[in-house]
């Protein structure tokens, strides 16, 4: 038995070498990456209201996956994981990047394109990059000979989710550049033409490189809002504009497959089609669907991270096959590297695995994953092993009751989930929490998650601050997801009638009712403080109204238009900890007389999302906590 195993081990490298010993044997690789296309949005996955004949045909001639994952439910981190074979936290791209971001995918990361280029491949990235638009982080500096496309999302332009240049320009975004290689060739290109222009480029690239191995990475800008679609496809589907857009992408896939056929490249080319995350549900009729999965983009529920995936390589991948094993975009790098006669980097941790045994239909081939981790930003929110998925308590975004229309996002509401164990085989929609019935499984998955966090800290290329990863997860878990999210920020207002801290006179906002909230011991509490000037205040009254607990947790997110340092005064007479963006900025563990602004800190708030988390221990029959924005309140209000 042992002997056979050893023999096999020796044979494998020779088999690979003998298949790939000349460049003509190296397969071409095409990865088509749609944006925000949901699990249900291909005909062969049950799409209704539009059709995808080319993709369905690709599935008939190849393999379709039902447990295929991206490594993050958002654009930038999902892309970084695909190209590096690593969890996004590991490579320092855990969140969506804004234009002119000082960070992005480090040039020191090794991408699929760099590995293949070393093997003599011609390489092109055509479409949406979104891994940093600083010149050192653009595609031509990450192994791509050629680049044509947008450096980030098509919504990051002055007209936001409007595909036409109509209405007032948003001050948030500059003109949207279209790049060819290192040069900006156009500003604010016609979004209706993006899919057809990318396709034209892709077809030309294939034709120009038909005699040598090539790697084409085609991340479409669509179907991210604003939805652009050419005239030929506009208004054609029952579903509406989103359906039209998908049908145009399907046409594009058809053009690429046709080009392969015409140039006799079909049997030499592995074509992969998938999406970067689930449907953007908050845009309502402009979003796709993830049915039967729960939630969509931006969440670590299945609808956010399980996506459709089809792969085709005639004579190599069994035609018409459906694969139910767990596979991820991180597997592309190691798998494709081996096919090209190379291997995944060995000087660093790569999370993806070689999935060729699955693709080639090896009998009995199983997923290489014992466990898979669901991150949202740098927060580890869930873990899956086999059919079991454990969510740690976390917040998530949920579409507002009335969804958005025509590309406009409806409001999103903060929802939360406590510690929850789901059996995905029996309950794909994550509806029945079995945590109480299987404490052993909960413990096992928790241990696995802890080990993963430790591994991330020790084996990441980008600095990973353990507190940054742990703070929300551990605090969240303690609170069992019972966050209070609707505490308010108030002010500035005039306080001429202030008398000590007994009274608060609110501004012209709906604020008056919270003057007299009571705690469980029925005391009147007033939780605002001000310094008599035009400063901002946090109302914690509402927070405590919700709570009969000795410990409460509260979390709020503030969106800022720019980076700014806020000077904050803190004081408390209870056990209070406050984290801002993962950094502990205030900690008071003993009861003492409340002194407003006892502790003054300057905290860098960043452009975009900022998270404030509070943990408050009641230490002595009441609550006392003060939070004052001393400088910079106008940025929050």
Q: Which residues bind Ca ion (CB under 5 A)?
A: 35-36, 75, 107, 142, 276-277
Of the pair 107, 492, the CB lying nearest Ca ion is at 107
309 annotated active-site: no
How far, in Å, CA of 325 to CA of 528, rounded? 54
Minimum gap (Å) between residue 74 Cβ and Ca ion: 6
Of the residues 19, 44, 75, 180, only one is catalytic, namely 75
Map residue 206 onto helix, strand or coil: helix
How far, in Å, CA of 184 to CA of 192, rounded? 19
Of the pair 306, 452, the CB lying nearest Ca ion is at 306
Give phi and psi for 331, each to the nearest 5: -80, -15
Minimum gap (Å) between residue 621 Cβ and Ca ion: 50
Measure CA 156 to chain center: 16
Nearest-CB residue to Ca ion? Answer: 75
Residue 9 CB neighbour total at 10 angstroms: 9
Of the pair 216, 222, the CB lying nearest Ca ion is at 222
Q: What is the CA radius of gyration of the chain?
A: 26
Minimum gap (Å) between residue 586 Cβ and Ca ion: 36
Of the pair 142, 155, the CB lying nearest Ca ion is at 142
Minimum gap (Å) between residue 110 Cβ and Ca ion: 6
Beta strands 420-423; 388-391: pairing state? antiparallel
Extended strands (E) in 196-343: 214-219, 269-275, 309-312, 321-323, 327-328
Give phi and psi for 277, each to the nearest 5: -175, 175
Of the pair 142, 209, the CB lying nearest Ca ion is at 142
Of the residues 125, 130, 220, 586, only one is catalytic, namely 130
Minimum gap (Å) between residue 281 Cβ and Ca ion: 12
How far, in Å, CA of 463 to CA of 456, rounded? 9
Q: Which residues pair with 612 in a beta bridge?
A: 556, 580
Phi-psi region of 360 (alpha: psi -120 to 50; beta: other; left: phi over 0): alpha
44 annotated active-site: no
Token pair for 600: 């003054």
How far, in Å, CA of 556 to CA of 486, rounded? 7
What is the 3 state secondary structure string of 507-521? CCCCCHHHHHEECCC
Token pair for 490: 């108030």
What is the 3 state secondary structure string of 14-36? HHHHHHCCCHHHCCEEEEEEECC
Of the pair 112, 536, the CB lying nearest Ca ion is at 112
Of the pair 196, 280, the CB lying nearest Ca ion is at 280
Minimum gap (Å) between residue 277 Cβ and Ca ion: 5
Minimum gap (Å) between residue 76 Cβ and Ca ion: 9
Give the residue carrying structure tokens 């056979």. Answer: 4
Minimum gap (Å) between residue 261 Cβ and Ca ion: 30
Long-range CB pairs of 437-441 (<8 Å, 24+ gap) are 438/388, 441/388, 441/390
How far, in Å, CA of 289 to CA of 36, rounded? 10
Of the pair 62, 104, the CB lying nearest Ca ion is at 104
How far, in Å, CA of 508 to CA of 489, rounded? 13
Q: Which residues are tagged catalytic? A: 75, 130
């Amino acid at each position: 038995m042992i002997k056979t195993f050893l023999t096999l081990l020796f044979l494998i490298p020779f088999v690979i070498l003998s298949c790939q010993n000349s460049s003509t044997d190296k397969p071409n690789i095409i990865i088509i990456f749609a944006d925000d296309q949901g699990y249900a949005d291909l005909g062969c996955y049950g799409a209704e209201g539009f059709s995808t004949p080319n993709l369905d045909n690709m599935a008939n001639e190849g393999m379709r996956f039902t447990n295929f994952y991206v490594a993050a439910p958002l654009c930038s981190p999902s892309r970084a994981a695909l190209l590096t074979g690593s969890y996004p936290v590991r490579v320092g791209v855990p969140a969506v990047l804004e234009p002119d971001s000082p960070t992005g995918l480090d040039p020191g990361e090794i991408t699929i394109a760099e590995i293949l280029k070393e093997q003599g491949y011609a390489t092109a990235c055509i479409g949406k990059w979104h891994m940093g638009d600083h010149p050192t982080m653009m595609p031509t500096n990450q192994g791509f000979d050629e680049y044509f496309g947008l450096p980030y999302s098509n919504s990051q332009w002055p007209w936001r989710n409007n595909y036409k240049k109509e209405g007032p320009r948003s001050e948030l975004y500059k003109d949207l550049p279209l790049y060819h290689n290192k040069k900006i060739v156009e500003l604010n290109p016609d979004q209706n033409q993006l899919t057809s222009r990318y396709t034209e480029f892709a077809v030309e690239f294939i034709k120009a490189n038909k005699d040598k191995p090539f790697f084409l990475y085609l991340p479409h800008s669509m179907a991210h809002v604003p939805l652009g679609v050419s005239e030929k496809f506009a208004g054609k589907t029952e579903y509406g504009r989103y359906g039209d857009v998908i049908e145009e992408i399907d046409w594009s896939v058809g053009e690429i497959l046709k080009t392969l056929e015409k140039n006799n490249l079909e049997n030499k080319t592995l074509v992969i089609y998938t999406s970067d995350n689930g449907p953007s549900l908050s845009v309502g009729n402009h979003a796709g669907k993830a049915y039967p999965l729960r939630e969509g983009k931006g969440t670590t529920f299945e609808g956010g991270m399980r996506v459709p995936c089809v792969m085709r390589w005639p004579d190599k991948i069994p035609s018409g096959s459906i694969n139910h094993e767990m596979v991820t975009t991180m597997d592309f790098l190691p798998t494709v590297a081996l096919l090209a006669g190379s291997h995944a980097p060995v000087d660093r941790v790569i999370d993806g695995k070689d999935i060729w045994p699955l693709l080639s239909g090896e009998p009995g081939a199983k997923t290489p994953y014992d466990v898979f981790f669901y991150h949202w930003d740098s927060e580890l929110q869930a873990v899956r092993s086999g059919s079991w998925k454990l969510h740690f308590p976390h917040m998530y975004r949920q579409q507002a009751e009335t969804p958005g229309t025509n590309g406009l996002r409806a409001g999103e509401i903060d929802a939360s989930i406590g510690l929850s164990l789901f059996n995905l085989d029996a309950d794909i929609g994550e509806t029945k929490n079995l945590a109480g019935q299987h404490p052993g499984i909960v413990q096992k998955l928790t241990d696995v998650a802890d080990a993963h966090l430790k591994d991330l800290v020790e084996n990441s290329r980008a600095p990973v601050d353990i507190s940054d990863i742990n703070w929300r997860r551990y605090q969240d878990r303690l609170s069992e997801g019972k966050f209070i999210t609707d505490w308010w920020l108030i002010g500035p207002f005039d306080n001429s009638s202030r008398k000590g801290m007994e009274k608060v006179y609110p501004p012209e906002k709906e604020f008056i009712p919270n003057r007299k909230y009571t705690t469980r011991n029925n005391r009147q509490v007033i939780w605002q403080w001000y310094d008599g000037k035009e400063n901002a205040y946090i109302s914690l009254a509402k927070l405590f109204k919700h709570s009969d607990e000795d410990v409460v947790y509260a979390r709020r997110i503030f969106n800022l238009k720019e980076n700014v340092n806020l000077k904050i005064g803190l004081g408390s007479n209870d056990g209070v900890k406050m984290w801002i963006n993962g950094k502990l900025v205030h900690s008071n563990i003993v009861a003492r007389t409340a002194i407003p602004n006892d502790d003054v800190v300057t905290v860098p708030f960043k452009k975009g999302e900022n998270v404030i988390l509070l943990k408050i221990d009641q230490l002595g029959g009441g609550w006392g906590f003060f939070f004052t924005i001393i400088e910079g309140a106008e940025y929050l209000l």
